[in-house]
Structure 1
Amino acid sequence: MKLDEKQSNYYKKWESIRNNKLKYLFKKAMLDYALPFSIFMTIFELIDSRFIFSYKILTDFLILFLIGSVLGTIVALISFRISEKKHIKFKGNLHNE
């Protein structure tokens, strides 16, 4: 079975990403999940406190960032594993031709 253009592009893109798993996990977990989540929740907390910044808001931000990082890492690991399975499947299809 020959890969179509979309699958071929995905295969090439993932081949370069999979070589640096830690960079992928950092980007996905910290930058894509934890940071936006913690900023979003902190904005709601600031609105609730009428934009009075306090030490509590800073500690809440850090706690939310840590929670988001843990949850983001779990999601990123699952995403990595799913993409890796697709990559192995495509690689098998390339070698069977």
Structure 2
Amino acid sequence: MAQTSHPLAAPKTQTQTEADLPWLVVVMNDPVNLMDYVVMVFRRVFGYDLAKARKHMLEVHEEGRSVLWSGSREQAEAYVYQLQEWQLSAKLQRDSGE
């Protein structure tokens, strides 16, 4: 029986490589929400314990932003939507891999 040859897999294009990178859920600082409220939201949305939620809240407060989660685009979009529903300034950002 003759073997059939399989075509070589096409090399990844830059677009495919970029799509494979994780997506980040980033929360930006705002002058509206109280610190305790932000901690509560992080705990409810991500299931963070108090220490981790406070760490991210302080990072937002002191550095102006915090990366809360990294992973698939679909899940990242869902998290951003939930955070925005809680009136937090959240955005989706592609991980640069750096």
- Fold shared, TM-score > 0.5 on shorter chain: no
TM-score, length basis structure 1: 0.31
TM-score, length basis structure 2: 0.31
More helix by share: 1
More strand by share: 2
